[in-house]
């Protein structure tokens, strides 16, 4: 049974399922090449569909891909061939009665499944990934999220797989007559097939327990291969924090007696929220101080929380169809972001999220794959697990939170969970719950779900000294996106404050408020403030209160002033970013005009003040000192000139490094405290700033600075410090020494998958070291595996997505290389191929020369033969 040809699916065509499945009983007889799957389905006509469709019984459609059908029986009788028809993508059955039971037997080959969707093997262990449409690679089934069923799963496997897991509670276990193990799991909560999971392997586990707010004890288990058992503690602690947080902040308690997490090495994304049995990419769950960086510790905390939070926002209340994906993803990203903000530094978390949004989501919004948070159509749903659905979706939820306020938002979420528990619903249902719980009107606000593109707000202000009046005029527009020429004004919450000449916050109203939210609903609107005794400096879009590009003509001095005085920490950082962006944009202009580049004095002055202020949160200072990435700069301008971006950025960083060397050194030394590793916010902040200083110091290629890096590397205290030192040595030190250090690092860590991934990524993304030749060598390295997405992401992704310098080599070799890899990967794993092609999709934004090169690389992919639906959609939309 092959997959169907790529076809466009439309939201407007949604119809309720013709049939429901009340119970699903599955039996798996595991074998790498010949796994037998028996399913027993209790099916009935959906009363909703029957009401609208008259009395006749339409055929039953069961999705199925890459399955061998062995038998199919209805109510105990084998079905004659004329009752069913195998078609591309599934099976159509003639139905003769409104309720019946089907028994279907299929055969699958997990070992040959390199798509990592459905049932597959990772290092010899069986695991599954069913979201969005992977269950159809396991058995014939109505594989759509609005069909919710109670699942019972029996797994039979040889004794070398002692751990046999599925969703829910273990209800039976034993041995078969021929000595194989048999375990049965039952999940009492009805769920869609995308939340099904199965794991079988020779695994070890750590166990803990959590007592819920109503006093129920929940067993927590984290399963890994034996070699990783020492890396589970951080995830377990994070899980318990997340469980408590969801009780306190949302009133949500866990509902089963057991919650399991399994770590697997071969995984297409970060993790999956299968009911009661989360499956994680091992890089997103396993950590120890020696092997994982601070960034990894924080990523694990947030992903563990994200998947756990899905138990309510996604599992108990799920999506009606995949157009509603942001209903669970946007909401859950918002929940995990707030959790991380509560656990760590709120401002820093916000800065990280906004940076991602501005760099990558804005790019998506402006490119050929631009789509609304609730898309109108798709060809391959896997392509829609995007930054728009996730991050912009989370911004929409955040704006609702801002517009209604925290208490009202909680009333809305309570009503949403209560009203829709056990149901598959829509984004509209979420908004209606928010409105109904509060008597609010979000009519215009809804446009955020249906309108693609990043709105631009232009701001002008006017001060009338005589009347002591200050007014802000805001104009909004959203650029056209593919298929959406006309855009309507959105309801945009713009948080602001006003600063006086002494840096103090001005009072904005008679209640004494010093910040407020402007509700921009028209194309152009003026907001006036009374009793303002001096011309203020506005602090606009505080906390990034809406996912927009805001333009206001700040001078360099004003930005430096905001950097020091804005009461909003996010906007202090943002002022610094604006200053850096302005500086880098002038430098790019100078480079293009063949002029001598000006020393970036304003930035140097601003950074000098920052480095000498030991009161400021070091994490915030580190963020401020980091110049916008090349990718972000690419997104800012109208046309991408890769060489100019690299030259401007390198020049600015060098100039800063040389001018402020003594300050970087002093700060480095003050922060270089030798104490046992802890992943606390304070310690992470300290290491973050220390390693930022180290990178600047090494940029000067000064011997003493490189010696500091070497000492830090050799002290070997934790992976954060070791990898930062190694990166600095590789980037800025002599090549021979870098080669030797990399070699010894590899020898030390070659048994550790996660560290080897770090080692790959550090080289492929290095501006100086990660040449195409080096990347090819890495791909030939024995530790590289084309079938392992983490390795591919580290080497090929590191080069194409994080190595702006080498990837955009003027001869176009980077683009051709990527095209080759994408073509090869599409045969193995279409989802990964489709992700990797992203850097080529924005070819129109590059200068003519590069645009031509990228276009021909894309064209070559397009002409390379039959593409997967995933890759076909990306490439055809990019070339259109
Ligand atoms: N829901 C999964 C993502 C599934 C991606 C399928 N291609 C992980 C998450 O967002 O929590
Ligand atoms: Zn999610």
Mean pLDDT of the chain: 97
Ligand 1 mean position to 100 CA, how many Å? Answer: 33
Predicted confidence (pLDDT) at residue 2 exceeds the cutoff of 60: no
The residue-averaged pLDDT of 616-629 equals: 96
Percent of the chain with pLDDT over 90: 98
| Residue 319 CB–ligand 1 contact under 6 Å | no
Ligand 1 mean position to 131 CA, how many Å? Answer: 6
Residue 6 confidence (pLDDT): 86
Domain residue spans of the chain: 9-309, 323-548, 552-659
Ligand 2 mean position to 310 CA, how many Å? Answer: 7
Nearest Cα residue to atom 6 of ligand 1: 131
Ligand 2 mean position to 190 CA, how many Å? Answer: 19
| Residue 246 CB–ligand 1 contact under 6 Å | no
Ligand nearest to the CA of 270: 1
Ligand nearest to the CA of 284: 1
Kindly provide the residue ranges of all beta strands, DSSP E only, lying in 797-878, ordered along the sequence: none
Q: Ligand 1: which of 273, 327, 388, 870 to mutate, judged by most atoms within 8 Å of the beta carbon?
A: 273
Which tens digit of pLDDT belongs to each residue from 547-599? 999 999 999 999 999 999 999 999 999 999 999 999 999 999 999 999 999 99
Which tens digit of pLDDT belongs to each residue from 507-539? 999 999 999 999 999 999 999 999 999 999 999
Ligand 2 mean position to 245 CA, how many Å? Answer: 17
Q: Which residues surround ligand 2, an ion (CB under 5 A)?
A: 329, 332
SS3 74: strand
Nearest Cα residue to atom 9 of ligand 1: 272
Beta bridge partners of 148: none
Ligand 1 mean position to 820 CA, how many Å? Answer: 27
Residue 185 confidence (pLDDT): 98
SS3 content of the chain, % helix, strand, coil (to 5): 45, 20, 30
Percent of the chain with pLDDT over 70: 99
In ligand 1, the atom with minimum distance to the C-alpha of 329 is 10
225, 307, 635, 731: the catalytic one is: 307
Specify the CATH architecture of the domain 323-548.
Orthogonal Bundle (1.10)
Distance CA 412, CA 436 (A): 7
Distance CA 219, CA 276 (A): 11
Closest C-alpha among 36, 38, 39 to residue 23: 39
Residue 51 confidence (pLDDT): 74
| Residue 583 CB–ligand 1 contact under 6 Å | no
Residue 56 confidence (pLDDT): 86
Nearest Cα residue to atom 5 of ligand 1: 131
Nearest Cα residue to atom 2 of ligand 1: 272
Predicted confidence (pLDDT) at residue 1 exceeds the cutoff of 60: no
Nearest Cα residue to atom 1 of ligand 1: 272
Residue 754 confidence (pLDDT): 98
Predicted confidence (pLDDT) at residue 877 exceeds the cutoff of 70: yes
SS3 214: coil
The phi and psi torsions of 39 (rounded to 5 degrees) equal: -125, 140
Nearest Cα residue to atom 8 of ligand 1: 272
Q: How many residues does the chain have?
A: 880
Distance CA 216, CA 254 (A): 9
Distance CA 20, CA 99 (A): 10
| Residue 132 CB–ligand 1 contact under 6 Å | yes
7 burial via Cβ count (<10 Å: 0-12, 13-18, 19+): exposed
Indicate the helix (H) or strand (E) that contains 152. strand 149-157
| Residue 389 CB–ligand 1 contact under 6 Å | no
Distance CA 422, CA 473 (A): 46
Q: What's the start-to-end Cα distance of the chain, in Å?
A: 31
Predicted confidence (pLDDT) at residue 450 exceeds the cutoff of 80: yes
Distance CA 241, CA 491 (A): 35
Nearest Cα residue to atom 7 of ligand 1: 382
477: left (phi over 0), alpha (psi -120 to 50) or beta: beta
Distances (CA, A) of 705 to 618, 624, 661, 720, 729: 21, 22, 10, 18, 10
| Residue 306 CB–ligand 1 contact under 6 Å | yes
- The runs of H, that is alpha helices, within 593-641 are 601-612, 618-625, 630-636
Distances (CA, A) of 400 to 336, 559, 801: 16, 29, 33
Residue 53 confidence (pLDDT): 59
Q: Ligand 1: which of 118, 134, 195, 271 to mutate, judged by most atoms within 8 Å of the beta carbon?
A: 271
Which tens digit of pLDDT belongs to each residue from 367-384? 999 999 999 999 999 999
Domains 9-309 and 323-548 share a fold: no
Contact of 307 with 246, CB cutoff 8 Å: no
The residue-averaged pLDDT of 657-668 equals: 98
C-alpha triplet 47, 48, 52: angle, nearest 5°: 110
Q: The domain 9-309 is classified under which CATH number: 2.60.40.1730, 2.60.120.1140, 3.40.50.800, 1.10.10.410?
A: 2.60.40.1730
307 included as an active-site residue: yes
751 burial via Cβ count (<10 Å: 0-12, 13-18, 19+): exposed
Distance CA 369, CA 838 (A): 9
């Amino acid at each position: 049974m092959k997959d169907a040809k790529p076809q466009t699916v439309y939201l407007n065509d949604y119809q309720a399922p013709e049939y429901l499945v009340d119970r699903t009983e599955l039996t798996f007889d595991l074998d790498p090449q010949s796994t037998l799957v028996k399913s027993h389905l209790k099916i009935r006509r959906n009363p909703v569909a029957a009401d609208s469709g008259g009395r006749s019984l339409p055929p039953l459609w069961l999705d199925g891909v890459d399955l061998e059908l062995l038998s199919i029986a209805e109510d105990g009788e084998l079905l004659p061939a004329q009752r069913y028809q195998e078609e591309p993508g599934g099976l159509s059955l003639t139905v003769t009665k409104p309720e019946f039971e089907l028994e279907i037997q299929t055969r699958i080959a997990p070992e040959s499944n390199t798509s990592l969707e459905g049932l597959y093997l990772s290092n010899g262990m069986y695991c599954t990934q069913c979201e969005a449409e992977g269950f159809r690679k396991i058995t014939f089934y109505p594989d759509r999220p609005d069909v919710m069923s109670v699942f019972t799963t029996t797994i039979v496997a040889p004794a070398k797989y002692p751990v046999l897991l599925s969703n829910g509670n273990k209800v039976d276990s034993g041995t078969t007559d021929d000595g194989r193990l048999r375990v049965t799991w039952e999940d009492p909560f009805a769920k869609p097939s995308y939340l099904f999971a199965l794991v079988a392997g020779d695994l070890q586990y750590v166990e803990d327990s959590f007592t819920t707010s109503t006093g129920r004890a929940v067993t927590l288990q984290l399963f890994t291969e034996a070699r990783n058992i020492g890396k589970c503690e951080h995830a377990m602690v994070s899980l318990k924090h997340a469980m408590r947080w969801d009780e306190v902040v949302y009133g949500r308690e866990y509902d089963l007696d057991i919650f399991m997490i399994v770590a697997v090495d071969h995984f297409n994304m970060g993790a999956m929220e299968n009911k009661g049995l989360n499956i994680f990419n091992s890089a997103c769950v396993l950590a120890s101080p020696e092997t994982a960086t601070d960034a990894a510790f924080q990523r694990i905390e947030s992903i563990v929380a994200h998947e756990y939070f899905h138990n309510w926002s996604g599992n108990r209340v799920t999506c009606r169809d995949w157009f509603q994906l942001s209903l669970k993803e946007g909401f859950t990203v918002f929940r995990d972001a707030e959790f991380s903000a509560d656990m760590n530094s709120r401002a820093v978390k916000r800065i990280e999220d906004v940076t991602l949004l501005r760099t990558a989501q804005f790019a998506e919004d402006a490119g050929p794959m631009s789509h609304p948070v609730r898309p109108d159509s798709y060809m391959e749903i896997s392509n829609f697990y995007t930054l728009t659905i996730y991050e912009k979706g989370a911004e929409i939820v955040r704006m609702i939170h801002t517009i209604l306020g925290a208490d009202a938002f909680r009333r809305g979420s309570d009503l949403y969970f209560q009203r829709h528990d056990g149901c598959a619903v829509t984004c509209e249902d979420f908004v209606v719950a928010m409105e109904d719980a509060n008597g609010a009107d979000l009519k215009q606000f809804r446009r955020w779900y249906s309108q693609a593109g990043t709105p631009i707000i232009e701001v002008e202000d006017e001060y009338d000294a005589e009347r002591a009046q200050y007014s802000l005029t805001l104009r909004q527009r959203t650029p056209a996106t593919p298929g959406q020429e006309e855009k309507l004004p959105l309801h945009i919450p713009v948080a602001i404050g006003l600063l006086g000449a002494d840096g103090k916050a001005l009072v904005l109203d008679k209640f004494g408020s010093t910040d407020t939210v402007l509700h921009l609903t028209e194309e152009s609107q003026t907001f006036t403030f009374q009793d303002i005794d001096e011309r203020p400096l506005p602090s606009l879009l505080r906390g990034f209160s809406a996912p927009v590009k805001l333009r206001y003509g700040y001078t360099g001095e004003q930005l430096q002033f905001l950097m020091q005085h804005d009461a909003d920490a996010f906007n202090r950082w943002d002022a610094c970013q604006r200053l850096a962006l302005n500086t880098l944009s002038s430098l790019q202009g100078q480079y293009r005009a063949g002029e001598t580049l000006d020393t970036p004095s304003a930035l140097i002055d601003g950074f000098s003040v920052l480095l000498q202020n030991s009161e400021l949160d070091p994490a915030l200072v580190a963020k401020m000192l980091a110049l916008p990435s090349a990718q972000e700069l690419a997104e800012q301008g109208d046309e991408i000139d890769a060489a100019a971006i690299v030259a401007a950025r390198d020049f600015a960083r060098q100039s800063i490094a040389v001018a402020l060397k003594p300050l970087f050194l002093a700060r480095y030394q003050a922060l270089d405290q030798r104490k046992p590793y802890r992943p606390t916010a304070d310690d992470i902040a300290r290491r973050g700033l220390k390693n930022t200083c180290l990178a600047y110091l090494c940029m000067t290629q000064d011997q003493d600075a490189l010696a500091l890096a070497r000492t830090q590397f050799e002290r070997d205290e934790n992976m954060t410090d070791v990898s930062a030192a190694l990166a600095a040595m590789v980037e800025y030190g002599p090549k021979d020494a870098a080669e030797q250090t990399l070699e010894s690092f590899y020898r030390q860590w070659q048994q550790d998958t996660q560290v080897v991934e770090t080692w790959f990524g550090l080289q492929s993304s290095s501006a100086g070291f990660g040449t195409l030749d080096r990347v090819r060598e890495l791909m030939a390295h024995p530790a590289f595996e084309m079938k392992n997405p983490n390795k591919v992401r580290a080497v090929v992704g590191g080069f194409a997505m994080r190595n702006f310098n080498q990837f955009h080599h003027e001869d176009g070799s980077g683009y051709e290389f990527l095209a080759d890899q994408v073509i090869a990967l599409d045969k193995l794993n279409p989802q990964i191929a489709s992700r990797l092609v992203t850097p080529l999709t924005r070819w129109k934004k590059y200068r003519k020369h590069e645009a031509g090169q990228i276009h021909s690389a894309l064209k070559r992919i397009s002409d390379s033969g039959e593409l997967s639906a995933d890759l076909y959609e990306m490439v055809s939309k990019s070339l259109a």
